[in-house]
């Protein structure tokens, strides 16, 4: 029968203990060959959840969902900028780390501007995260806790979602996993200089690729510093100093290159958006209420959850997992997993980074969340060691729930291959309009082709970003980067000019009229059309917004507009 193992760092001499957690098995028969917890069955279940996680991520990626607004707000910055211009303040109130921006821009340059190209790097990050989490969890856990932690991680809805979303959240998760894995490798074998220096060398990559990785890197620094201090391990101090130096220098470089510009441009806007994600300083009662609401809502949405206490079960499991570590004396592992939470909350208290509010802000914490939740569920099951039948039922339910979430993600995505129907309709309109107009005339955009900055909607949070992204993907001329062909405009092949109008952002009609007067020196305005672009809520019942595309049709001649 397996017993609990200590979680301490090897220090001097030949003493070396492995950092893994084993709980006493409920019954030797369960662990025997053919039993429900036999090594062979555990490995098969781990393989099953790995395949399910891969399938959930792959299905969503290859279904090629239409870009939704949050992706478009960032991706529109890759339309016309070069590698230096993406480091400047971004349109649509976006903030992203420099290496991520460069990689995304590189994907666009190599593969073209498309849904698959924009999501390729997050997809690769998410797939790699599955394997690295299996490696990391296998170094920290054994038996049932390992199986449960991996099942929660592999089948989490956020894992499948951010594998096919052109945002930095999948890379936040991957960077965190690599940092933690390297840190555990240093912990297990402190005499290995190659592993220690690998952690130092990866630190600049981590900071340049993921802003919240500073919480994980800072947690590793504090943790290893405490370990070296307690153990009087002198060989680790040079690496520890180099690691901290790499973090500080990388933070300074990133701030000078891009974060400083982005922060100064967007910090006030972001603070307004994130108010509920900052700890309230109005009093202890409000702080305690915020703590419990935050940790029982979107922050802990693994394998799924939601606002207003939708993740309370995961919160309870994580609390139980912390209790398991404390009761069994694994204080170092507890500190290793929880210090990044403390640093993150500190940043939130300073109103520099949101804590909670959405699961996307906790992707760098997902390894610790899933490990603690797996430990908590395993500890709860092991509390019933005298009831073998109850244990089997509890184990089946604990594994069936994440499996159902993973399978449900696949079924849902196949049946509804879009985030919202409004996204699908907007893409369908772009596919129809931009593809077909090339056969009966020339179509241009007042903003992207003429370069007329007539509305603030191209800087605020407007669905103009979706309009521009779909235009680039589904207009053959725009996708090829070709200029408008004014010389091919004839009476039978008119020129159509598209003006995106957002009622929340008044247009500069004087600027538009001045451009129109210049156009009518060469072309004759023969018609106007107006198309509504509707946005509904997720239930498709509440009309949220109506934008318009105004299309002006011109033919050759300068006799003035028809009336």
Q: What is the pLDDT of residue 8?
A: 30
The verdict on residue 18 lying in a domain is no
Residue ranges of the chain with pLDDT lower than 70? 1-36, 190-192, 232-233, 259-260, 263-266, 384-388, 558-563
The verdict on residue 439 lying in a domain is yes
Q: What is the pLDDT of residue 224?
A: 86
Torsion of CA 413, 417, 422, 425, to 10 degrees: -170
Rounded distance, CA 177 to CA 213, Å? Answer: 10
Q: Which residues pair with 550 in a beta bridge?
A: 499, 530
Q: What is the pLDDT of residue 159?
A: 95
The verdict on residue 70 lying in a domain is no
How many independent structural domains does the chain possess? 2
Q: What is the pLDDT of residue 333?
A: 92
Query: Does 500 lie in the same domain as 385?
Result: no
Place of tokens 């200029």: 483
The verdict on residue 203 lying in a domain is yes
Query: Does 466 lie in the same domain as 410?
Result: no
Q: What is the pLDDT of residue 38?
A: 76
Query: Does 380 lie in the same domain as 466?
Result: no
Query: Does 513 lie in the same domain as 442?
Result: yes
The verdict on residue 1 lying in a domain is no
Query: Does 471 lie in the same domain as 375?
Result: no
Q: What is the chain's length?
A: 563
Rounded distance, CA 442 to CA 501, Å? Answer: 20
The verdict on residue 178 lying in a domain is yes
Query: DSSP readout, 62-79?
Result: HTTPPP-HHHHHHHGGGS
Q: What is the pLDDT of residue 385?
A: 52
Instruction: Give the domain range for residue 376.
Output: 28-63+95-415
Rounded distance, CA 19 to CA 141, Å? Answer: 8
Q: What is the pLDDT of residue 382?
A: 78
Q: What is the pLDDT of residue 19?
A: 54
Query: Does 243 lie in the same domain as 273?
Result: yes
Return phi, psi of residue 234, to 5°. -75, -30
Helix (H) or strand (E) holding 138: helix 115-140
Query: Does 150 lie in the same domain as 46?
Result: yes
Query: Does 510 lie in the same domain as 398?
Result: no
Rounded distance, CA 101 to CA 168, Å? Answer: 9
The verdict on residue 7 lying in a domain is no
Query: Does 400 lie in the same domain as 516?
Result: no
The verdict on residue 17 lying in a domain is no
Query: Does 458 lie in the same domain as 399?
Result: no
Query: Does 341 lie in the same domain as 228?
Result: yes
Residue ending a domain, choose from 385, 415, 445 = 415
């Amino acid at each position: 029968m397996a017993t609990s193992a200590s979680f301490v760092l090897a220090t001097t001499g030949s003493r070396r203990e492995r950092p893994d957690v084993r709980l006493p098995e409920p019954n030797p028969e369960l662990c025997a060959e053919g039993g429900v917890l036999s090594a062979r069955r555990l490995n098969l279940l781990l393989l099953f959840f790995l395949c399910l996680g891969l399938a959930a991520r792959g299905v969503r990626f290859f279904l090629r969902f239409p870009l939704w607004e949050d992706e478009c707000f960032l991706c529109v910055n890759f339309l016309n900028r070069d590698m230096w211009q993406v480091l400047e303040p971004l349109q649509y109130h976006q903030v992203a780390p420099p290496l991520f921006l460069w990689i995304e821009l590189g994907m666009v340059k190599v593969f073209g501007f498309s849904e698959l190209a924009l999501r390729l790097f997050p997809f690769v990050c998410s797939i790699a995260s599955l394997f690295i989490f299996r490696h990391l969890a296998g170094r920290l856990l054994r038996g049932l806790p390992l199986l449960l932690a991996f099942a929660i991680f592999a089948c989490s809805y956020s894992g499948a979602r951010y594998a096919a979303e052109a945002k930095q959240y999948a890379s936040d998760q991957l960077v965190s996993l690599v940092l933690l894995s390297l840190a555990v490798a240093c912990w297990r074998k402190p005499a290995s200089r190659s592993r220690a220096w690998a952690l130092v060398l990866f630190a600049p990559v981590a900071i340049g690729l993921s802003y919240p990785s500073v919480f994980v890197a800072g947690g590793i620094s504090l943790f290893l510093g405490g370990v070296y201090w307690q153990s009087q391990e002198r060989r680790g101090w040079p690496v520890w100093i180099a690691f901290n130096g790499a973090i500080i220098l990388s933070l300074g470089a990133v701030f000078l290159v891009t974060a400083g510009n982005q922060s100064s441009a967007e910090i006030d806007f972001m603070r307004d958006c994130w108010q509920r994600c900052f700890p309230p300083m109005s009093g202890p009662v409000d702080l305690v209420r915020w703590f419990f609401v935050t940790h029982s809502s979107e922050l802990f949405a693994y394998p799924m959850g939601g606002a207003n206490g939708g993740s309370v079960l995961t919160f309870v499991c994580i609390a139980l997992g912390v209790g398991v570590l404390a009761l069994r004396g694994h204080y170092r592992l507890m500190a290793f997993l929880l210090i990044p939470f403390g640093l993150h909350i500190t940043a939130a208290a300073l109103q520099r980074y949101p804590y909670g509010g959405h699961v996307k802000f906790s992707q760098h914490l997902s390894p610790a969340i899933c490990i603690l939740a797996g430990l908590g569920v395993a500890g709860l099951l092991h509390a019933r060691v005298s009831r073998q039948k109850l244990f089997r039922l509890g184990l089946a339910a604990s594994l069936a729930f994440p499996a159902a979430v993973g399978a449900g993600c696949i079924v849902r995505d196949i049946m509804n291959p879009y985030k919202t129907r409004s996204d699908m309709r907007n893409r369908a309109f772009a596919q129809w309009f931009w593809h077909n107009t090339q056969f009966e005339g020339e179509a241009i955009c007042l903003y992207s082709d003429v370069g007329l900055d007539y509305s603030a909607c191209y800087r605020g949070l407007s669905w103009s970003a979706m309009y521009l992204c779909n235009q680039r993907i589904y207009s053959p001329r725009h996708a090829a980067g070709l200029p408008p062909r004014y010389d091919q405009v004839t009476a039978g092949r008119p020129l159509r000019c598209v003006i995106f109008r957002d009622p929340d952002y008044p247009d500069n009609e004087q600027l538009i009229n001045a451009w129109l007067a210049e156009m009518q020196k060469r072309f004759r305005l023969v018609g106007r059309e107006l198309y509504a672009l509707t946005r509904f809520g997720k239930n498709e019942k509440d009309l949220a917004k109506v934008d318009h595309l105004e299309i002006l049709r011109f033919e050759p001649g300068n006799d003035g507009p028809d009336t």
